[in-house]
Amino acid sequence: MSAVAEWTIVICILIGTFLSIVAAFGVLKLPDVYTRNHAASKSTTLGVLLTLLGTLIYFYATDGEFNARIVLGIVFIFITAPVAGHLISRAAYHTGVELSERSVQDDLSQKK
């Protein structure tokens, strides 16, 4: 395995795990459902994407095997994770979960 491939793999997987940890801290620290959902759905998506990308390059560099299932997984997570976050947020809003006290504006409530 060449040094370039090795470093790319290491950087991809480390940034991926770092982003997942950041997402976990965001879920713990942020005040309400919507901001937590914002942290969880965005940074875990990118974290999992980078980890999968590192895995793809690893198997391509060591075995010479291009694993198309990982590419499909990347595309799949890239499509579905934001939609899942959107649906969770919307379900929370429609069941009347309160916004954080620090929020200044609620555009959806004025439309009712």
Residue 94 Cβ vs another protein, minimum distance, rounded to whole Å: 6
Reading the block at residue 88, the tokens are 């969770």
Angle at 88 between CA 87 and CA 90, to 5 degrees: 65
17 contacts 43 by C-beta, under 8 angstroms:
no
62: contact with another protein by CB under 8 A:
no
- Cα distances (angstroms) measured from residue 16 to each of 4, 10, 12, 29, 59: 18, 10, 6, 20, 17
104: contact with another protein by CB under 8 A:
no
3-state helix, strand, coil in the chain (%, to 5): 80, 0, 20
108: contact with another protein by CB under 8 A:
no
Residue 34 Cβ vs another protein, minimum distance, rounded to whole Å: 16
80: contact with another protein by CB under 8 A:
yes
Residue 82 Cβ vs another protein, minimum distance, rounded to whole Å: 9
Reading the block at residue 69, the tokens are 């299932």
29: contact with another protein by CB under 8 A:
no
75: contact with another protein by CB under 8 A:
yes
Please give the residue ranges that form the binding site for another protein (CB under 8 A): 69, 72, 75-76, 79-80, 83, 86-87, 94
